[in-house]
A and B are shown apart, each in its own frame.
Chain A
Amino acid sequence: MESSTTTSRTEWVMGILLVLFFLFVLVAPGIGSLTGWGQAVSSAEQRVLAPPPRLPRHLGELRAFRTALDRYWADHFGFREWCVQAYSRLMVLGLRTSSSVQVMLGRDGWLFYTGDGNVEDLRGATRIPAPELAAYALRLEERRAFVESQGGRYLLMIVPEKASVYADGLPYWAQTRRGPGRLDQIVDYLRAHTRVDVLDLRASLAAARETGRLYFQTDTHWTDRGAFVAYQALMACLRGWRPELQAIDDIGWRDAGWYEGDLARLLLLQHRLREPQELLALRQPVVLTSQELMASRPEMIGRGRFQLIESTHTNAPTLFVMHDSYMNFLAPYLPGAFSRTWFKWQPAFDEQAIRNLKPDFVVHEVAERFLMSSLRENPPGISTEQEALRAAFAASTDVRLAVTNAAAMAWVRRGAQVHFVEAPEGMDWVAEGPDPYVFLPAIAGASAGIPVVRVAMTSGVHTECSFLYMVEKQCAFLCTGRYLSEGFNEIYIPLTGGRVVGEIRFDPAETSGTYRLHALEIRMIPALPEFLAGMSPPVPVL
C-alpha cells in the first residue's frame, strides 16, 4: 500500500514537472516573439520574411488577415532559428539525413543541389523529347546566325554540375547512370545538327581533378581552381579564332580562410560545414577599369544592367558575356585579354546590345542545370518563331477576343492583385502583388484550329506573362508564357495541347507595377507553323 502511494506521488511529481515543461515550451516562442528574445533571423533563407499583418477593417479583410498572420507567425515566432538549427544538426550530423529537400548529402562531406531536376538528370532518367531538342537547337542557331551577321562569333559555354565532375562524391545509389543525361543529349545534338560552337568543360575539369579541388564541397559553385581551368579552356577556344589573344598563365594560389557554401547555408549549418578556401593570385596584376551601365543612363546600349570592364589592351578584341553566377569567378581576370568586356546577367538574349556594340565574341555561359530553362524564345528581332506566328495571326480572320480599349475590358473577369486604369493608347494594368491575374472568356464556337494570343504591352521591368488553361480530356492546367522586356513588347503565344475549354487565366506579370496593355487578342489559326508543330505542349502544372 505504501509502495503504491509513493509511486502515485512520484508519478504526480513527474507529471507536474512535465506539465511545467510543456507550458514553458508552449509560451516561450510567444514571449520570445513579444520581447525579441530568440528572434534572430538568419539571412540564409534569402527571402524577405512575412511582414506584420494589418488589422482587418471589415469582415471582407478577415481572410487576408488570417493568411497574413499565419505567414507572419510562421516566420517570426521566438526561438525559430534555434529550432531550425537544432533540427538541422540532428538530421545532418546525427542521422546523416538531409534536412532540406534541396540538398543531397553525398559521400565524404560532399553536398549536392537537387533542384532543377538535377537528381533525375544524374540518374540519366531525363530525356529531352526530340521536338524540344530541335526547337532548342533552332533557337541557338538563330543566335549564332545573328551574332555572325553582326560580325562576331558566338560560343555556348556550359558549366557542368558538380556531380558531373565529382560523381564519386555522390551517394552510391546515384552513381549508376542509366542513360545519357540532358547535357550529353544537347551537346551531341548541337554538334550533329547545328553550326553552334559549344564549349563542354567536362573533359577539361575531369583532367584537372588531380591539381586540387575544382568545386566547393558545400556550395553549388566551382572554386577558383575550377574557374581557372574553365578560363584556360575558354581562352584556348577563343584563340582558335583569334590567335593574338593573350591568356594569363602566371598565377599562384593563396589560402583565404574558411568558405561558407550556399548548400551549407540551405541546411543552416554554414558554421559547422565550412571548408578551406584557396584563391587565385595573379603574379602580374591585370589593370582594369570597371563601370556599371544601366539602361536609364545616356550610355544606353541594350536592355537592363551591364558591367563594362576595360583593359589597357586597347587594340584587343571585344567580348560580350551573358552569364550566371559561375562567371563571377572568372570576372576579375578574364577581361585582361580584351579591350572591352561587357558582362550581362542572363537570362534574356540581348540582341539590341549586340547590334549596338558589335562585339568580336559573344560568350553565353550557362550552368548545366539551367540548360533547358534558361534558353527561352529569342527576341522578336531574330526569332523566326515569333515571325511565323505573327504572319499566321495576321492572316487569320477568326477573331475570338479583342481587348483593345476600356469598353472591351467588360470581357475580362478580374482575378486578384490587379486593377485597371484607363490610359492613352490602352489600359494601365496595375499589379498590386507578385501574382496578378485575370480570366479571359472561354473560346466559344467551332473547335478547329489553334488559338494564338497576341499581347501588346509596355512593361517597366523584365518580367514574364503567362497563360493557364485547360484542354479537353485533361484534368490539369497547362501553363505557357513569354518574357516581357522593359519597354514595348508584342508577343504571340499559341495555346497548344488540345482544345482549350473554360476560362483562360492570364497573368500579365510576375512583379507588382504598372503595365500598359495596348492590345490583347485571340485568333484561331488553322495550324501551327511547321517547325513549331512538333514542339511538346506546355507542361501540366496542377
Chain B
Amino acid sequence: MVFSSPIFLFLFLPLVLFAYLLTPRALKNTVLLGASLVFYAWGEGPYTVVMLGSILVNYLAGLVLMRFEGRVDARRRALAAIVGLNLALLIAFKYANFLANNLNILLQAAGLPLLNVPPVHLPIGISFFTFHAISYVVDVYRGEARAQRNPINVALYVTLFPQLIAGPILRYHDLAGQLGARPHTTERFAYGVRRFIAGLGKKVLIANTLALPADQIFALAPEHLAPGVAWLGIVCYALQIYFDFSGYSDMAVGLGAMFGFRIMENFEHPYVATSMREFWRRWHISLSTWFRDYLYIPLGGSRGGAGRTVFNLVTVFFLCGLWHGASWTFILWGLLHGFFLMIERLGVEDRLRRAPRVLQHVYVLLVLVLTWTFFRAESFGAAVHFLGMLCGVNSGALPQSVAMHATPAVWLALGLGIVCATPLGVRVHAAVGRTAGYLYHGAVALGLAAIFLLATISMASGTYNPFIYFRF
C-alpha cells in the first residue's frame, strides 16, 4: 500500500485514525501495531512472516544483551551474531540473485558448473526494517537505550507504518521514549496534517508529473535521444526523485505527528548544497547519519589518517550504493559519491570555497547529474550513452524534440520544483509567520487545502482507465 493511493487515503487512513483516536491511551500502541501489520501484509502477504521473524529474533537479542550486562565479551559476541543474522537476512532476500549472477560470470569464465539460484522475492521495506532492527540491538548494546521488555513496543518501532517502506530510518534511542509515552495534542495533529499535505503535494503534483517525461526519456531507444531531450530527462528525474522521496518523508513525519510521534527530518533542501559533503548533510539524512553512527565511526571515521579515512569513505559509500539496490549501477553511484567526498576531503573543498558561490552550486549540480544518470539508467552502457547525449557527443538518427515531452504541466511542475527545492518558502514563513495575522495564516491554510484537493483529484484520476474500444 502506498500513501498516494485511494485505498490508503480514503479507506485505510481514516479507519486507522479514528480507531487510534478513540482507543484508550494504554492500547494505542497495540492499535498502531495492528494497523502497521495490515499495511505491510496488504502488499507483502505471507512475507510479513519474514518481518515478524526479524522482530522476534531482535527482541530476544535485546533481552539477551540486557542479561549479559557487565560481560563484555559475551555481549560483543551476541551483538556480532545478531547483526550478522540481520545482514544475512538482508543478503538472502535482496542480494542472493545479484551475488549468484556475478559469481556465475566468474564460474563460467573458469569453466565450472554454474549456480542455479531461483528468483528470490524482495520483501518491500526489508532494507529499512533490517536497519531499524540493527539500530535497536546496537543501541541496547551501547547502553544508549534500555532493551524493551514489551514486545509490542519493539514490533511497533520496527513496523510503524508511516516509515515502514520508505523511511526515514529511525534510530531506536530517538524513539524509545516516545514508544512509552507521547503527547497527543491538537497542535501536533494539525502540524501532522500540514506536513502530510505538503508531502502528498510534492509526491503527486510535482514528482508524478515529472516522472512521466523522465520515464519516457530514459526508456527511449538511442536513435530517439537528443541532447536537449536528455537534459530534460535528467532534470526531470533529479527533481522527481527528490520530491518523491522527500514527499514520502514529509508524509511520514506528518503521519507520525498525527499519532503523536516526533519523526526525524530526512531532507533539508539538498540541491542548494555547495559541496558534496554538504549535500550528504541534507540528503536522506537518516541514512547518512545511520551509516555515520553505525559504520563510519566504528570503522574509525577520519581519525586514522588520510589512507584510513579514504578506505572508510569508500567502504561506506560502496555499501550505501548497494543498500539502494542490488545492481552495479547503484554501486557505481555510491562509489562516485564516495569519490567526490574523498577529493573534497583531500583539498578540493578548500579550493571550492574560494570560488564564486554560483560555481560551487554548478559543481554540485553537475556531480548530481552525473551520479543520477547512473542511478536511473538500466545499465552501465545505457548510462554512458546517456551521458554522451548530455555532453552533446552522441545524437540519435531520429531524435525526439523537447516539446514532445515538455507539456505546459511539465513546465509548471519544473518551475514549482525548482522554487520548492530552495529554502525560499521556509525563509518567508520564518520571517513573516510569527507576526502575520489572519490573512497570512488563512492564505497558508487555503493554499494547503487547495494542494490537498488538487493532489486528491490527481491521484483519483489515476484510477480512471478508459478504453477507446469496449472491454468486457
> Which residues does A use to contact B, with CB under 8 Å?
3-4, 6-7, 10-19, 21-23, 25-27, 29-30, 44-48, 62-63, 66, 69-70, 73-75, 77, 79-80, 83-84, 86-88, 90-91, 95-100, 102, 113, 115, 123-125, 171-174, 178-179, 220, 262-263, 265-266, 268
Partner of B461, one of A11, A75, A88, A266: A88
Q: In this assembly, does B193 line the interface, its C-beta being within 8 Å of a C-beta of chain A?
A: yes
Interface membership of B442, Cβ < 8 A: yes
Residues of B within 8 A of A102 (CB): 466, 468
Interface residues of B, Cβ cutoff 8 Å to A: 5-7, 9-11, 13-14, 17, 42, 45, 186-187, 189-191, 193-194, 196-197, 223-224, 398, 400-401, 403-404, 407-410, 412, 433-438, 441-442, 444-445, 448-449, 452-454, 456-458, 460-461, 463-472
Whether B407 pairs with A98 at a CB distance below 8 angstroms is: yes
Query: In the complex, which residues of chain B have a beta carbon less than 8 angstroms from the beta carbon of A263?
Result: 468
The answer to whether A73 touches B10 (Cβ under 8 A) is: yes
Shortest CB-to-CB span from A206 to chain B, Å, is 25
Q: Are B467 and A46 in contact (CB under 8 A)?
A: yes
Of the A-B pairs whose beta carbons lie under 8 Å apart in the complex, a sample of 21, sorted by A's number, is A4-B435, A6-B437, A7-B436, A10-B436, A11-B433, A15-B191, A19-B193, A23-B17, A26-B9, A30-B11, A44-B466, A45-B467, A66-B45, A77-B11, A83-B456, A84-B464, A87-B460, A90-B454, A96-B407, A97-B408, A172-B403
Q: How far is the CA of A95 from the CA of B186 in the complex (A)?
A: 37
Docked CA distance A16–B186 (Å): 8
Shortest CB-to-CB span from A12 to chain B, Å, is 7
Q: Do A80 and B460 have beta carbons less than 8 Å apart?
A: yes
Q: Which residues of chain B come closer than 8 Å to A26, judged between CB atoms?
A: 9-10, 13-14, 17
Using CB atoms, name the residue of chain B closest to A266: B466
Q: Is the CB of B437 within 8 A of A10?
A: yes
Contact A87 B441 (CB under 8 A): no
- Name, among A11, A47, A48, A266, the residue most crowded by chain B CB atoms within 10 Å (CB to CB): A11
- Residues on the B chain within 8 Å of A123, using CB: 398, 400
A47 in contact with B190 given A87-B461, A97-B408, A174-B404 (CB within 8 Å)? no
Distance between Cα atoms of A4 and B437 in the complex (Å):
10
Bound complex: CA A7 to CA B14 (Å): 30
Residues of B within 8 A of A12 (CB): 186-187, 190
Complex: A474 Cα to B34 Cα, angstroms: 44
With A7-B436, A265-B466 given, name 9 new contacts (CB 8 A).
A13-B441, A15-B445, A16-B186, A16-B190, A45-B465, A47-B472, A73-B11, A87-B460, A87-B461
Q: Are B445 and A17 in touch, CB under 8 angstroms? A: yes
Closest Cβ neighbor of A325 among chain B residues: B469
Identify the closest chain A residue to B440 (Cβ).
A10
Which residues in B have their C-beta under 8 angstroms from that of A266?
A: 466, 468
Q: Are B412 and A95 in contact (CB under 8 A)?
A: yes
Nearest neighbor of A172 in chain B, beta-carbon distance:
B403
CB distance from B435 to the nearest CB of A (A): 6
Q: Which of A46, A79, A265 has the most CB of B within 10 A?
A: A46
Contact, CB under 8 Å: B190 / A15? yes
Contact residues in B for A66 (Cβ distance below 8 Å): 42, 45
The chain B residue with its CB closest to the CB of A87 is B461
Q: How far is the CB of A212 from chain B (nearest CB, A)?
A: 25
Asked if residues A19 and B190 are in contact (CB atoms below 8 Å), the reply is yes
Indicate whether A45 sits within 8 Å of B193 (C-beta atoms), given known contacts A25-B452, A25-B456.
no
Cβ–Cβ contact B408 & A113, under 8 A: no
Assess A23 versus B465: contact at CB under 8 Å? Given A16-B186, A62-B45: no
Residue of A62, A70, A115 contacting most chain B CB atoms (<10 Å): A70
Q: Cβ of A7 and Cβ of B412 under 8 Å apart?
A: no
Nearest chain B CB to A400 CB, angstrom units: 21
Q: Report how far A90 CA is from B9 CA in the complex, Å.
A: 22
Chain A residues near B10 (CB-CB < 8 A): 26-27, 29-30, 73, 77
Per the bound structure, the CA–CA distance linking A14 and B472 in Å amounts to 48
Smallest CB separation, B43 vs chain A (Å): 9
Residues of A near B464 (CB, < 8 A) are: 45, 80, 84, 268
- Is the beta-carbon distance between A25 and B6 smaller than 8 angstroms? no
CB of A494, distance to nearest CB on chain B (Å): 27
Contacts of B469 in A (CB 8 A): 46
Q: Please state if B461 and A178 are interface contacts (CB–CB under 8 Å).
A: no
The smallest C-beta distance from A260 to any residue of chain B, in angstroms, reads 14
B300 to A: closest C-beta gap in Å: 41
Known: A100-B466, A125-B398, A179-B398. A21 touches B404 (CB 8 A): no
Whether B7 contacts A46 by the Cβ 8 Å rule is no
CB distance from B199 to the nearest CB of A (A): 13
B445 contacts across to A, CB distance below 8 A: 14-15, 17-18
Q: Are the CB atoms of B190 and A45 closer together than 8 Å?
A: no
Chain A residue with the shortest CB-CB distance to B463:
A74
A73–B6 CB distance below 8 A = yes
Q: Which of A30, A75, A171 contacts B403 (CB 8 A)?
A: A171
- A83 CB to nearest chain B CB (Å): 3
In the assembled complex, the Cα of A17 lies from the Cα of B468 at a distance in Å of 42
- Known contacts being A22-B193, A66-B42, is A87 close to B466, with CB within 8 Å? no
Residue of A nearest to B186 (CB): A16
Closest-by-CB residue of A relative to B13 is A26
Q: Which residue of B lies closest to A72 (CB)?
A: B7
- Of all chain B residues, which has the CB nearest A43? B470
Give chain A nearest CB distance to B302 CB in angstroms: 42
Q: How distant is B45 from chain A, measured CB to nearest CB, in Å?
A: 5
Q: How far is the CB of B205 from chain A (nearest CB, A)?
A: 11
CB distance from B457 to the nearest CB of A (A): 4
Query: In whole Å, how far is A171's beta carbon from the nearest beta carbon of chain B?
Result: 7
Query: Which residue of chain B lies nearest to A220 when distances are taken between CB atoms in the complex?
Result: B468
The reply to whether B460 and A27 form a contact with Cβ atoms under 8 Å apart is no
Cα of A512 to Cα of B192 in the assembled complex, Å? 48
Whether B468 pairs with A113 at a CB distance below 8 angstroms is yes
A138-B223 Cα distance, complex, nearest whole Å: 30
Complex contacts, B400 vs chain A, CB 8 Å = 123
Residues of B within 8 A of A74 (CB): 5-7, 463
